Amino acid sequence: MANLYSTKALGRAWPPSTPTASPRTSSRGRFIPWDLNPPRQRPAAVEESWFQDLRLLRGRLTERLVLVLVLVFCAAFLIRNHEHLISPGTRAWVGTLHLSRLGGSLLPPWSRVHWSDYAYVSYATTPDYLCNSVMLAESLHRLGAKPDTLILYSSDLTTSSSPHPASARLIYQATALYGARTEPVSVLSASSSSSSSSTADTTWSASFTKLLAFNQTRYKRVLSLDSDATLLQPLDELFLLPPTAPVALPRAYWLNNTLCTSVLLASPSEADFARVRARVEKAAPQEVDTDVINALYGDGCLVVPHRPYLLLSGEMRAAGHEAYLGGGGGEWDAVKVLAEAKYVHFSDWPMPKPWMASSEGLRRELMPGCKGLGEGGCGDRDVWVGLYAEFRERRKRVCGPEFIMYEEEEKQLDNLPPLAQAMSGGQPIE
């Protein structure tokens, strides 16, 4: 063995005259310092710092695991906090680009939205409006809306000396069947309205309760909706509008220079709620929630387009539709307008609300005539009648027979025009 070199550390031996084609390595991937042939010179590039960093990947198992964990942590941090790391203007631009290319949604394809930070909010101060709020919760649940649903109801509905027998059932139904959150509140009213005695005045003064949406600070944004309406499509994309103002809402397109609070997007905060409450306390006797919001935010809000987010039922009876169609003009077709609309608010004076009984003579007097396009030229009439009939059918199905006030009108549903029959035939409007 005199002609052999040996090493006890590795237990290997080889003749000194045997050339080695490449540096020998151990099982751990390290160069053996006693190799007879010197290693080949590496190019200068591989000696740079980035190459030395890459050698970590060839290191020990512990080093690899630490590197993987660091990468996973960084990826999770970026995914969770991308909304804060990317400017609102960039998010809005990307969302608008996605909308223009694919059509339909303002949601960026890479965005992961925490929908529990947002909520649809409605309020109820009477049993009839509690039924309406539960109907709205049913529609949001059926249509697959992603944010929470919150119903603010007057505590008197369940704690008064003679509560409505169905109030407790409706509150439980909203939670158990439709996943809504319910919260008893005190009615918010102006000090000057406390002496009002008429039912109409009481109903209008109670509308200030809607402004409790500004106090729901558990949410980043809330979308307050009037419940005397029919929701045709979810409004989830409104929650992702650029946060450039504390309030976003549409204009009352049938009026001049007035904002409409039927659809009100707010960013709740203690400061804004204190400001709103102070303005409510000094409201004039004839002022309502719309007056308060216009006074506080009329010059500094984000304006939501009324198409497709706000359509009045009375628009079907209007003589002209230039205000709704906008400056671009276009041809009025009630059937197509209903198909694009997402939210229809029942505002149709002197026609009463759809859950209230009305005389046959008044209905016939106010019913739109056969004009315009769609369904043989009677699209306005068919859509108008169908909206009322569908609301009544859904109210009976959701709230129960205790809330039916128009039994004599039920008998006339068989004589509805074809479109109205389809809308009221037990199937919700899709």
Q: What is the pLDDT of residues 56-79, one digit of tens each?
A: 555 567 777 888 888 888 888 887
Does 240 reside within a domain? yes
CATH number (domain holding residue 249): 3.90.550.10
Does 38 sit behind a cis peptide bond, omega within 30 degrees of 0 on the bond before it?
A: no
Q: Tell me the pLDDT band of 47, cut-offs 50, 70 and 90.
A: low
Domain boundary among 279, 304, 329: 304
Q: Tell me the pLDDT band of 423, cut-offs 50, 70 and 90.
A: low
Q: Tell me the pLDDT band of 190, cut-offs 50, 70 and 90.
A: confident
Residue 293: which of 225, 220, 211, 205 has the closest Cα?
211
Instruction: Give the pLDDT of residue 66.
Output: 82
Give 312's contacts (C-beta < 8 A, 6+ positions apart). 254, 344, 345, 346, 347, 348
- Verify that 170 and 300 share a domain, yes or no: yes
Does 6 reside within a domain? no
- Verify that 195 and 133 share a domain, yes or no: yes
303: enclosing H helix or E strand = strand 302-304
Is 152 a residue whose pLDDT tops 90?
yes
- Verify that 135 and 267 share a domain, yes or no: yes
Higher pLDDT, 334 or 27: 334
Give 149's contacts (C-beta < 8 A, 6+ positions apart). 119, 120, 136, 137, 140, 141, 174, 178, 179, 180, 181
Domain boundary among 255, 286, 304: 304
Q: Tell me the pLDDT band of 297, cut-offs 50, 70 and 90.
A: very high
Instruction: Give the pLDDT of residue 84.
Output: 57
- Asked if residues 236 and 294 have their Cβ atoms less than 8 Å apart, the reply is no
Lowest average pLDDT, out of 61-75, 227-241, 289-303, goes to 61-75
- Verify that 133 and 160 share a domain, yes or no: yes
Q: Could you say which DSSP state residue 247 is in?
A: E
Percent of the chain with pLDDT over 70: 67
Q: Tell me the pLDDT band of 313, cut-offs 50, 70 and 90.
A: very high
Does 276 reside within a domain? yes
Looking at every residue in the chain, the average pLDDT score rounds to 78
- Verify that 197 and 344 share a domain, yes or no: no
- Verify that 289 and 151 share a domain, yes or no: yes
Domain boundary among 251, 276, 304: 304
Domain extent at residue 410? 305-430
- Verify that 261 and 409 share a domain, yes or no: no
Token readout for 393 is: 């059918």
Higher pLDDT, 102 or 139: 139
Q: Tell me the pLDDT band of 55, cut-offs 50, 70 and 90.
A: low
- Verify that 290 and 335 share a domain, yes or no: no
Mean pLDDT calculated for residue range 386-408: 84
Instruction: Give the pLDDT of residue 86.
Output: 56
Domain count across the chain: 2
Output the pTM of the full model: 0.70
Instruction: Give the pLDDT of residue 413.
Output: 46
CA distance 398 to 409: 18
- Verify that 250 and 370 share a domain, yes or no: no
Is 309 a residue whose pLDDT tops 90?
yes
Lowest average pLDDT, out of 60-74, 97-111, 361-375, goes to 97-111
Mean pLDDT calculated for residue range 266-295: 93
- Verify that 350 and 288 share a domain, yes or no: no
Beta bridge partners of residue 149, listed in sequence order: 120
Instruction: Give the pLDDT of residue 44.
Output: 54
Q: What is the pLDDT of residues 201-210, one digit of tens each?
A: 445 558 899 9
- Verify that 335 and 291 share a domain, yes or no: no
* Phi, psi for 362 (deg, rounded to 5): -65, -40
Does 387 reside within a domain? yes
Does 312 reside within a domain? yes
Lowest average pLDDT, out of 43-47, 112-116, 335-339, goes to 43-47
Does 239 reside within a domain? yes
Is 428 a residue whose pLDDT tops 50?
no
Is 334 a residue whose pLDDT tops 70?
yes
Higher pLDDT, 14 or 240: 240
Is 108 a residue whose pLDDT tops 80?
no
Does 360 reside within a domain? yes
Does 248 reside within a domain? yes
- Verify that 280 and 362 share a domain, yes or no: no
